[in-house]
Amino acid sequence: MRLVIISDTHCTQPNVPDGDVLIHCGDFTFHGRAFETKDSLEWFNSLPHKHKLFTAGNHELGWEDEVKRNVYLDWASKCTYLHATGVEIDGVKFWGSPFQPDFMGWAFQLPRGNRLKEHWSLIPDDTDVLITHGPPYGFGDTNGDPRDFRFGDKDLLARVLEVKPDVHCYGHAHGGYGQWFFEGIHFINAALLNESYMLANQPVVVDL
């Protein structure tokens, strides 16, 4: 199974390589407005990958409203939205969530500590591919300078190390784009835009 992983496209429509499962880790809009959402999801929906999975990000303002979100999802009829939910494809178990630690009052945020720890406990023990918008602590969670404050979540990292998925993919930290291997887990920050909101990075392709 070939995974093609992207994140933080913010209304751009980058070239995406072929694969079996296309994954978007959130922030496909700037502010979650209807016209942004429609254009972005119709583009995502049009791509030829057999399976397309996505979650939201902190920029998807308005998506926290379940009624509005369900209306928006009509524009993604060939895609599967993951909202602390999972799906199994050809024996591979995917699970995704848009939530991340509090960050400037944007969307899908929970306070660090017990609230987020409780949320991450929902990740099934048998998850093969974990999709979150925010990064775990220590793996692509700065703005590119190792001296920067790390805004990844330690409780997310702890849960990932318990579950040990084959792949954990995410975005949110534009300057943290990259890949790491630790404890048998392939960590991927797939943010395509840089800190200046310009397309700078390539989709990440993983063969399971």
Q: Supply angle C-alpha 136, 137, 138, rounded to 5.
A: 115
Structure token digits, residue 135: 């990064």
Q: For residues 197 and 208, what is the distance between their CA atoms, to the nearest angstrom?
A: 30
**Hey, where are the domains in the chain?**
2-207
Cβ neighbours of residue 11 closer than 8 Å, sequence gap 6 or more: 28, 29, 30, 36, 39, 40
Higher pLDDT, 8 or 146: 8
Yes or no: say if 167 and 188 are a contact pair by the CB < 8 Å rule: yes
Give yes or no for residue 145 having a pLDDT over 80: no
Q: Supply angle C-alpha 29, 103, 186, rounded to 5.
A: 75
Q: What is the mean pLDDT of the chain?
A: 96
For the stretch 61-86, pLDDT in tens is: 999 999 999 999 999 999 999 999 99
Structure token digits, residue 37: 């959402």
- Percent of the chain exceeding pLDDT 90 equals 94
Structure token digits, residue 43: 């583009």
For the stretch 94-132, pLDDT in tens is: 999 999 999 888 999 999 999 999 999 999 999 999 999
For the stretch 13-43, pLDDT in tens is: 999 999 999 999 999 999 999 999 999 999 9
Yes or no: say if 176 and 144 are a contact pair by the CB < 8 Å rule: yes
Yes or no: say if 99 and 133 are a contact pair by the CB < 8 Å rule: yes
Residue 149: its pLDDT value, please?
77
- Assigned CATH for 2-207: 3.60.21.10
Yes or no: say if 145 and 183 are a contact pair by the CB < 8 Å rule: no
| Residue in the structure block whose two tokens are 């049009």 | 46
Yes or no: say if 61 and 104 are a contact pair by the CB < 8 Å rule: no
Residue 104: its pLDDT value, please?
85
Residue 116: its pLDDT value, please?
97
Residue 143: its pLDDT value, please?
78
